[in-house]
């Protein structure tokens, strides 16, 4: 009978375990669907860490000081060298996540030319997981509009304009005749759907499944996917309601 008891030296010399072979296969692995899922999960979790930091800074908009604290924070964010370096990493994180998602969904489509009924994922998938591509694409459109109206406005179109609070206020009060604010709210609702599935599924893609911890990760994911988008959505709602003199 075949023995399954390998010694350590036998094991590291076995073709499956040889480090040089693993190293040689790593770029290949990243090009495979499994490698891409890993990268998508890692970049997704990295982006998950960015959102609370961005939200914390944006909460300064609620401070009743005419925007002084938010302007000081925004000035620091747009001039600090450390933040510049972090921004390059952030852009790379977004690009990896978006490109990987696009490649994976194209591959899935060509491997399964006849679409399933009721979305791209079949019956076994949850409501949220079926629409990851759709919600992700709308978040991408949101992001392009967002960067254009805030980051590019202050760094390119009106470089030197330091009135960040004023820009945000005007955008949420009268942008697109008031629809800009509600577009943010709708985008944050879709963001909640996207995060709801993405958070826990990232841990699964990384192979981190545990009887005890997976339900906890799912609960944290649910809480995160409600609190963070709700925090972002509260900002345009606040400016709109103030503008409409509701309070």
Interacting residues with ligand HEM (CB under 6 A): 54, 58, 74, 77-78, 87, 90, 139, 143, 146-147, 150-151, 154-155, 164, 168, 184, 232, 235-236
Residue whose CB is less far from ligand HEM, 41 or 181: 181
Ordered DSSP codes for 132-199: HHHHHHHHHHHHHHHHHHTHHIIIIITTT---HHHHHHHHHHHGGGGHHHHHHHHHHHHHHHHHHHHH
Max distance between CA atoms of the chain, in angstroms, equals 83
To ligand HEM, the closest distance from the beta carbon of 200 in angstroms equals: 19
CA 36 vs CA 97, 108, 133, 205: distances in Å: 9, 12, 15, 10
Residue whose CB is less far from ligand HEM, 54 or 125: 54
Residue whose CB is less far from ligand HEM, 24 or 226: 226
Residue whose CB is less far from ligand HEM, 78 or 204: 78
To ligand HEM, the closest distance from the beta carbon of 231 in angstroms equals: 8
CB 75 within 8 A of CB 69: no
To ligand HEM, the closest distance from the beta carbon of 43 in angstroms equals: 13
CA distance linking residue 177 with residue 220, whole number of Å: 37
To ligand HEM, the closest distance from the beta carbon of 96 in angstroms equals: 14
Residue whose CB is less far from ligand HEM, 51 or 102: 51
To ligand HEM, the closest distance from the beta carbon of 204 in angstroms equals: 22
């Amino acid at each position: 009978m075949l023995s399954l008891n390998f010694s350590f030296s036998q094991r590291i010399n076995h073709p499956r375990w040889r480090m040089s072979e693993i190293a040689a296969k790593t770029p290949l692995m990243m090009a495979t669907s499994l490698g891409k899922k890993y990268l998508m999960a890692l970049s997704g979790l990295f982006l998950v860490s960015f959102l609370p930091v961005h939200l914390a800074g944006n909460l300064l908009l609620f401070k009743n000081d005419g925007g002084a604290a938010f302007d000081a924070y925004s000035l620091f964010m747009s001039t600090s060298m450390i933040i510049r370096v972090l921004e390059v990493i952030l852009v790379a994180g977004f690009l990896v996540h978006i490109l990987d998602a696009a490649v994976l969904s194209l591959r899935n489509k060509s491997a399964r030319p006849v679409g399933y009924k009721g979305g791209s994922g079949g019956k076994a998938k949850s409501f949220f997981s079926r629409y990851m591509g759709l919600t992700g694409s709308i978040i991408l459109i949101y992001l392009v509009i967002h960067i254009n109206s805030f980051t590019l406005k202050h760094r390119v179109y009106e470089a030197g304009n330091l009135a960040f609070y004023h820009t945000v206020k005007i955008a949420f009060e009268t942008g697109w005749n008031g629809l800009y604010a509600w577009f943010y709210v709708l985008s944050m609702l879709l963001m909640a759907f996207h995060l709801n599935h993405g958070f826990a599924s990232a841990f699964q893609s990384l192979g981190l499944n545990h009887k005890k911890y997976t339900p906890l990760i799912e609960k944290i994911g649910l809480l995160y996917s409600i609190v963070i988008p709700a925090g972002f959505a509260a900002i345009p709602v606040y400016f709109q309601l103030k503008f409409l003199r509701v309070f």
